[in-house]
Amino acid sequence: GAVVSQHPSWVICKSGTSVKIECRSLDFQATTMFWYRQFPKQSLMLMATSNEGSKATYEQGVEKDKFLINHASLTLSTLTVTSAHPEDSSFYICSASAQMNTEAFFGQGTRLTVV
C-alpha cells in the first residue's frame, strides 16, 4: 500500500509553546488529508479534514485557532498545536487519500507530551 510518513514520532514540549507535526504522502498525491486525535484505549477522533489549497474543515468542538492545519501541497499537510497545554497531550494521527471514499493510509502517529 501507499506510504504516509508522519514526523516527528514523538515530541515533548513545554506548556505555552507551539508544536508542528508533518504528514507526508510519499508515493501518491493526497487531495485529502485527515487529522485525528486518539486518547489511550480510545478510538480515533477526527479533528479536521483538509483539502489541498483550501481551508481545513474542523469538526465540532475542535478549536481552529489552537489546531492550525495547513495543506499547502498535494503531499504535505501540517498540524500546529499552538500554545500547547498538558491537556493537549495525546496521540495525533494523520491519514491521506487520493480521493474521498477511497482507501485512506495512515501515518505512524505522533505522541505529544506537554509538560
Partner 1 sequence: QQQVKQSPQSLIVQKGGISIINCAYENTAFDYFPWYQQFPGKGPALLIAIRPDVSEKKEGRFTISFNKSAKQFSLHIMDSQPGDSATYFCAASIIDDKIIFGKGTRLHILP
Binding site for partner 1 (CB under 8 A): 1, 4, 6, 34, 41-44, 46, 49, 91, 93, 95, 100-101, 103-109, 111
Using the minimum distance from each CB to partner 1, give the nearer residue, 49 or 89.
49
The least CB distance from residue 14 to partner 1, in Å, is: 23
Using the minimum distance from each CB to partner 1, give the nearer residue, 18 or 108.
108
Using the minimum distance from each CB to partner 1, give the nearer residue, 25 or 95.
95
Name the 3-class secondary structure at 27: coil
Residues with Cβ within 8 Å of residue 76, at least 6 apart in sequence: 22, 23, 24, 25
The least CB distance from residue 8 to partner 1, in Å, is: 13
Name the pairing type of β-strands 76-81 and 67-73. antiparallel
The least CB distance from residue 105 to partner 1, in Å, is: 7
Q: How far apart are CA 104 and CA 3, in angstroms?
A: 10
* Rounded (10°) CA dihedral 23, 43, 115, 5: -20
The least CB distance from residue 67 to partner 1, in Å, is: 16
